[in-house]
Structure 1
Amino acid sequence: MKKTFKLLLSSAAVMAALCGQSAQAADAAKPHVVILATGGTIAGTGATSTTTIGYTAAKLGVDKMIAAVPELSKVADVRGEQVAQIASESMTNEVWLKLAKRVNELLAQKDVDGVVITHGTDTIEETAYFLDLVVKSKKPVVVVGSMRPSTAISADGPINLYNAVILAGSKEAVGKGVLVSLNDQINAAREVTKTNTSTTDTFKTPELGFLGYMQDNKPHFYRMSTRKNTADTEFDVSKLNSLPRVDIVYGYANMDRVAMDADIAAGAQGIVQAGVGDGSIAAQMMPAIRDARKKGVIVVRSSRVGSGIVARNGEANDDQEDLVVSDTLNAQKARILLMLGLTKTHDTKELQRMFYTY
């Protein structure tokens, strides 16, 4: 009887040890994902559960956001850091540099498989594209936000964050550049844009379409962006503490040179002209553009339209005027590429190569 009891105890100890090992193995098998929080609506709160307009952004810290989605622990080993606590309309170059450097530090660590960045939706496409150009790793980086504050009925933040963590920890997302994931959809940082002021399906890629879906707790990819990104770019922000000033001048009927002259007087090294149609330049603007080039200011022709290629030597003689065209980049993303390009060169031919490469 005593021998039987000892055998039972021994068997129980073995089973407990095996169960413990299995639990440890399961934890080790889960991807390690770091969430970097910057604020935004996903961390916002409203006065009531029906407040979806007029709420206060950037109220919750990263720990509270993680705690609000306990399911995260089932799909990844998650930890968080607070990089900033702002509404994304207040995003700055300085925060971008701080964020990019921290992302690169984390992704260089063997025990980090991917990074999620929580962000306000107003400038999410800009931050994502900046990171797409300066992150030096093939590991997944996913930028995520929400259109409704955390206190709202049917808040979209929790499911968006859950999907983003799965995506950042997945092998399928490796090497696909920085991704933007909301509303069960996966978009490329270079191509995505916010298209509606308030609906949850606001993020779209005009004409080219999104990359895939999040469904059944896993990503489903159907295409990839063909432009170089992340570890394959020539840009390095590790030693940068600031970026060159680049401003956007918006095209409209009856525009004049006042805004462009003011931007140049304020120290702009580059101007993105968000022209009408195919990046057309008004006749009265050409003297201002020529004066800008004489001062060494780079001028990029983009379009306010929102989709399509800005054709070189189409609506302006770009070769003669020594201008650069943005290809398919909208004005806000053209600004980002020009800022980074100006850290390398002021040669317009080299800058044009960059616009056709990235």
Structure 2
Amino acid sequence: MSVIAKRLAKRSKKQRGFRVKTVVVLATGGTIASVQNAEGDAIAAVSGADLLGAAVLPVDIQVRVEQLFQLNSFNLTPSDMARTLLRVQQVLSDPEVCACVITHGTDTMEETGFFLSLFHDSIKPVILTGSQRSSGDSASDGIGNLQNALIVAVDERTRGLGVLIVFDGEIWSVPETRKSSTLSSAAFDSPHGALGGVLGRQIAIHWRPIRHSLLSAEKLRADSIPRVDIVSCYPGADTTALDAVVKAGASGLVIEGMGAGNPGRDMVRALAPLLAAGMPIVLTSRVATGRAAAIYGDGGGAELVRSGAVLGGLYRAPQLRILVIAALGSCDSPESTHTAVTRFLAHTNTA
């Protein structure tokens, strides 16, 4: 019998007399699963089962582990996110399962979480977690984050909260949350602040998000996800990058404008015919905080919005790209895609 099997057998004996709650952990790799290779580079290599084997869990939690991927999250694609969504939906359809936890790299955790949140309509929570320090680091934060995620997953107060990120003792609501620090253990932030916190086996919920179920995964195909690109604007930028992504087959665009969302004259002129042809284009800002706004003409955001672009509000380019991908992949027409995007942004950009 393996070491992990022996530990699970001991836990099974301890669980007698308790109301055991079942959580499925989907392991995808990331820093939490990373160790150094011969060159000293961190790569995802530790299995989800081994991560769980190192965790100390309450006796009333039973965990089933599946290895979905073994990738650092900068190598994940929107197709991988769609596959994750479909597996999450299958897992949560099991009446014995109370929640799903996903171990994931922090580089793109906000994007996978955002993608899941656009389709998630179950009362059962989905929780993403990971680490900022690799599994082999003596100060690794991964196992502590995983233990906290499982504690949050089985708490009755998290039912109906949707998709969450649990990290560094805090609970964050998706889709607003985004990575805010490259290396700090306090890796995430949100315009609305943390949803709650974890201390030991106790959790606190400070506020409850208003959830808006937006899209159906019925038409979503993981092997045919539409291409959506981000085009950044900066002083002196021409349309070279824009022309390239359109030629490459972009079905939608996110424009990361200057200031409150101002692309510049050349970009506005080049985007006008794409908008007229029905391409979904969302305008946001390269500034860290604040919402995009249609204020300026002569190459400013107001011109682009008049031509049909949608303001991205408080969301930033990586999040909005996922929104447009999900809408294009699940809607029947340019009109329904535009409606889905604008409805989501109208409902969620309220602060």
Instruction: Answer whether TM exceeds 0.5 for this pair.
Output: yes
Distance 2:242 2:326 in 1: 20
Distance 1:283 1:87 in 2: 39
- CA deviation after TM superposition for structure 1 residue 312, in Å: 4.5
Aligned CA distance change for structure 1 residues 263 and 67 (closer, same or farther; 3 Å): same
Residue matched to 2:9: none
Residue matched to 1:201: 186
For residue 30 of structure 1, the aligned residue among 17, 20, 31 is 20
Q: Deviations over 1:42-62 (max 9, x none)?
A: 0011369xx9xx642311011
Distance 1:21 1:267 in 2: 57
Partner secondary structure for residue 274 of structure 1: strand
Distance 1:30 1:175 in 2: 20
- CA deviation after TM superposition for structure 1 residue 170, in Å: 1.3
Which amino acid letter does the alignment assign opposite residue 209 of structure 1? G
Aligned CA distance change for structure 1 residues 119 and 178 (closer, same or farther; 3 Å): same
Distance 1:40 1:350 in 2: 31
For residue 58 of structure 1, the aligned residue among 37, 44, 52 is 44
For residue 234 of structure 1, the aligned residue among 194, 215, 227 is 215
Which amino acid letter does the alignment assign opposite residue 225 of structure 2? L
- CA deviation after TM superposition for structure 1 residue 289, in Å: 0.6
Q: Deviations over 1:197-234 (max 9, x none)?
A: 111112111x4211111113132110133352xxx323
For residue 31 of structure 2, the aligned residue among 37, 41, 44 is 41
Within the alignment, does 1:145 sit opposite 2:130 as a pair? Answer: yes
Which amino acid letter does the alignment assign opposite residue 301 of structure 1? L
Distance 1:89 1:75 in 2: 35
Residue matched to 2:80: 95
Is the CA contact (8 Å cut-off) linking 1:269 and 1:296 kept in structure 2?
no
- CA deviation after TM superposition for structure 1 residue 21, in Å: 10
Which amino acid letter does the alignment assign opposite residue 308 of structure 1? G
Normalised to the residue count of structure 2, the TM-score between the two structures is 0.87
Which amino acid letter does the alignment assign opposite residue 235 of structure 1? S
Residue matched to 2:5: none
Residue matched to 1:264: 246
Distance 1:352 1:297 in 2: 14
Which amino acid letter does the alignment assign opposite residue 226 of structure 1? I
Residue matched to 1:9: none
Is the CA contact (8 Å cut-off) linking 2:15 and 2:60 kept in structure 1?
no
Residue matched to 2:177: 192
Comparing 162-171 with 73-82, greater Cα deviation is found at 73-82
Within the alignment, does 1:156 sit opposite 2:144 as a pair? Answer: no
Residue matched to 2:194: 210
Larger radius of gyration: 1
Partner secondary structure for residue 57 of structure 1: strand
Which amino acid letter does the alignment assign opposite residue 197 of structure 1? T
Comparing 55-64 with 118-127, greater Cα deviation is found at 55-64
For residue 308 of structure 1, the aligned residue among 290, 295, 303 is 290
Aligned CA distance change for structure 1 residues 21 and 160 (closer, same or farther; 3 Å): closer
Query: Which stretches in structure 2 are left out of the alignment for 5+ residues?
Result: 1-11
- RMSD of equivalent CA atoms: 2.2
Comparing 38-47 with 139-148, greater Cα deviation is found at 38-47
- CA deviation after TM superposition for structure 1 residue 129, in Å: 0.7
Distance 1:156 1:76 in 2: 21
- CA deviation after TM superposition for structure 1 residue 318, in Å: 4.6
| Equivalent runs, 1:72-151 vs 2, <5 Å | 72=57, 74-151=59-136
Aligned CA distance change for structure 1 residues 356 and 227 (closer, same or farther; 3 Å): farther
- CA deviation after TM superposition for structure 1 residue 260, in Å: 0.9
- CA deviation after TM superposition for structure 1 residue 355, in Å: 2.0
Is the CA contact (8 Å cut-off) linking 1:264 and 1:292 kept in structure 2?
no
Residue matched to 1:220: 204
- CA deviation after TM superposition for structure 1 residue 319, in Å: 4.8
Partner secondary structure for residue 309 of structure 1: coil
Normalised to the residue count of structure 1, the TM-score between the two structures is 0.86
Residue matched to 2:342: 352
Which amino acid letter does the alignment assign opposite residue 217 of structure 1? R
Aligned CA distance change for structure 1 residues 276 and 21 (closer, same or farther; 3 Å): closer
